[in-house]
Amino acid sequence: MSQPVRILYFAWLRERVGTAEEALALPEGVGTVAALIDWLRARGPGFAAAFAPGGSVRCAVNQDFATPQTTLAPGDEIAFFPPVTGG
């Protein structure tokens, strides 16, 4: 068994998916942020709404901002969140 990835959700994304954090094994064939988003979207209506195409979800991998093309590996910390609004 390979190491799971940790997935974090923040702000309205957290509220929409209904969880702040989960751990799961990277699904077969999911090697990038874009592929993970496709996979999450198919999980249920909360996820589908949170990751609706054309939305403004941002992603960080191992605490650095990521793009849809960023590759994923077992053990990664992957975070999804809206555009930031601090300051």
Binding site for another protein (CB under 8 A): 8, 10-12, 56, 60, 63-65, 79, 81-87
Give me the least distance between CB of 29 and another protein, in Å please: 27
Distance CA 11, CA 81 (A): 7
Residue 58: what are its φ and ψ, rounded to 5°? Answer: -110, 160
Distance CA 52, CA 13 (A): 11
* 32 vs 62 by CB, closer to another protein: 62
* 10 vs 38 by CB, closer to another protein: 10
Answer whether 12's CB lies under 8 Å from 18's CB. Answer: no
Give me the least distance between CB of 78 and another protein, in Å please: 11
